[in-house]
Amino acid sequence: MNETDHSAASPVSRADVRRPVTTRRSRALKGRMRPPGDKSMSHRAFILGLLARGETSIEGLLEGDDVMRTGAACRALGAIVKRVGEGRWTVVGRGLGSLVGPREALDFGNAGTGSRLMMGVVAGHDVTATFDGDASLRKRPMRRVLDPLVLMGAEVLAAAEGGCCPIVLKGTPDPRPVEYTTPVASAQIKSAVLLAGLSAPGATSVIEKEATRDHTEKMLRHFGATVSTESISEHGRRIILEGRPQLVAAPVVVPADPSSAAFPLVAALIVPGSDVLVEGMMMNPLRIGLLATLLEMGADIEITDRRVEGGEEVADLRARASLLRGIEVPAARAPSMIDEYPILAVAAAFARGETRMRGLHELRVKESDRLAAVAAGLKAVGVAQVVEGDDLVVGGTAGAGTVGAVKGGATIATNLDHRIAMSFLVMGLASQAPIAIDDEGMIATSFPAFKSEMSKLGAEVS
């Protein structure tokens, strides 16, 4: 990629060119891997770079398609965005209030986070922008973000049926500060309101009944804004942002993404004899629900070398093949592992006894309907499962290490969903017969080197 190229690091599939991939039962996985940079933080690093005055330098950025789209949008809104090395980027921002109107539609591809956060940015500026994306993004609910932004003074000039993309949003340089209670636990809604609130006079606050990832709050503070957080109930929080701060460029170091680390970790747990070290994983407490769950299931995961990198605690995780047992995962844990349920379902399929995952309604509105996709995929590979309301129950088998615990021998429909693709590819490493996915294209949105990194550990993937 050249210095100003904002296309994907590895191009995602065009809708008409599918690239199937197959995984096969593998010998013990061994070695170490550093997963790619955190996707949530990478989007936010670009966006804060756009809004700050001066040059923001970023290290460890995820060079996946989703984040590249956000970089391209930042450029269309007036920032100078450059690649200066592997995972190293600079953004020269225009400063809060100084964005330019993009000449063309902002195409966010598959990226819900990039599009929704940028809607918040546009809502607080005197610009009009068109938001669009691929077939998956065009189906995703956007009213949840547009509703509060309209309360703040933005106008939706056009939208597709159901308030979906393509959407034309007109911002205002003078948004109203609001106190907004998010109707669902969503860091994207919270972040969009806070980003719009940057331009509002006075305090904007967001109340969330269940705490969600706090990267926006932390990064806003890092760039000079005043953001306070108070606890309002066992799981709930109020986040208060003082409007119209001076945002000043700041260096950002992006740690390894726990949502991507989940794949080598679970692979090591289910492939007999494995011993894998996953390096530099972000340990933000609002992101590690999967780790807590796997440990409860009896996973042999050793957490070593806890340290702080770029304002986040990180650690190296050593995972060894384990005899897992089925458990009940409480609904309250969902926000801290919302993207990890597909891979948890894979682990659960190898566990002894049933695993019940409660409160998964938000899975229906991710890159695909993940609840339906996981249930259909498990059924296809011979794993007992049932969806009961918002719960997913996975039957479990005889325990990891039991040869042929999962039959396999099916091709899984990925429906433009990277996490469905990677989860079932991991499952194929320990199933009796190979497992194929119909298209690897979307893996490039979050983990472009997934296949080669897994192969290096000894995974049979082709």
User: Which residues have a catalytic role annotated?
Assistant: 339
Nearer to ligand S3P, 316 or 417 (CB): 417
Of 84-92, 183-191, 244-252, 392-400: span binding ligand S3P (CB under 6 A): 183-191
Q: How far is the CB of 4 from ligand S3P (least distance, A)?
A: 25
Query: What span, in angstroms and rounded, lies between the C-alpha atoms of 15 and 134?
Result: 9
State the chain's maximal CA–CA distance in angstroms: 63
Give yes or no for residue 338 binding ligand S3P (CB under 6 A).
yes
First to last CA, the chain: 25
Return the ∠ at Cα 262 (arms to 421 and 65), rounded to 5°: 55
Rule CB under 6 A: say whether 186 interacts with ligand S3P.
yes
Q: Does 40 bind ligand S3P (CB under 6 A)?
A: yes
Q: Which segment (186-194, 279-287, 378-386, 429-437) binds ligand S3P by CB under 6 A?
A: 186-194
Number of residues engaging ligand S3P in binding (CB under 6 A)? 10
Asked if 146 interacts with ligand S3P (CB under 6 A), we say no
Point out which span in 180-188, 278-286, 305-313, 397-405 binds ligand S3P (CB under 6 A): 180-188
Shortest Cβ 367–ligand S3P spacing (Å)? 8
Q: Which two tokens stand for residue 45?
A: 């690093």
- Asked if 431 touches ligand S3P (CB under 6 A), the answer is no
Measured at the CA of 204, the angle between CA 67 and CA 162, to 5 degrees, comes to: 55
* 219 touches 45 (CB < 8 A): yes
Any contact of residue 187 with ligand S3P (CB under 6 A)?
Answer: yes
From 48-56, 187-195, 274-282, 353-361, give the range in contact with ligand S3P by CB under 6 A.
Answer: 187-195
Q: For residues 134 and 316, which CB has a smaller minimum distance to ligand S3P in the complex?
A: 134
Hey, how many other C-beta atoms are within 10 angstroms of the C-beta on 364? 14
Site string for ligand S3P, 84-123 (x = CB under 6 A): -----------------------------x----------
**Burial (CB count within 10 angstroms: exposed 0-12, middle 13-18, buried 19+), residue 295:** middle
CA gap 212, 392 in Å, rounded: 21
> In the set 107, 339, 440, 453, which binds ligand S3P (CB under 6 A)?
339
Tell me which of 56, 90, 188, 284 binds ligand S3P, using CB under 6 A: 188
Decide if residue 136 touches ligand S3P (CB under 6 A): no
Radius of gyration of the chain (CA): 21
| Lookup result for tokens 């995602």 | 12
- With CB atoms as reference, the residue minimizing the distance to ligand S3P is 40
Q: Which is nearer to ligand S3P, 40 or 274 (CB)?
A: 40
CA angle 212, 344, 417 (to 5 degrees): 75
Give CA–CA dist 453/449, Å, rounded.
Answer: 6
By CB under 6 A, the residues from 355 to 374 that bind ligand S3P are 362
Q: Show the binding pattern over residues 204-223: x = contacts ligand S3P (CB under 6 A), - = does not.
A: ---------x----------
CA gap 350, 268 in Å, rounded: 12
| Distance in angstroms (rounded) separating the CA atoms of residues 372 and 257 | 25
Tell the smallest beta-carbon distance from residue 70 to ligand S3P (Å): 11
CB of 176 to ligand S3P, least distance (A): 23
Cα separation, 259 vs 422, whole angstroms: 11
- Coil, strand, or helix at residue 176? coil
Cα torsion 372, 374, 379, 382 to 10°: value is 180
Nearer to ligand S3P by C-beta: 139 or 170? 139
Q: Does 317 bind ligand S3P (CB under 6 A)?
A: no
The token duo for 159 is: 């939208």
Which stretches of the chain bind ligand S3P, using CB under 6 A?
A: 40, 113, 186-188, 191, 213, 338-339, 362
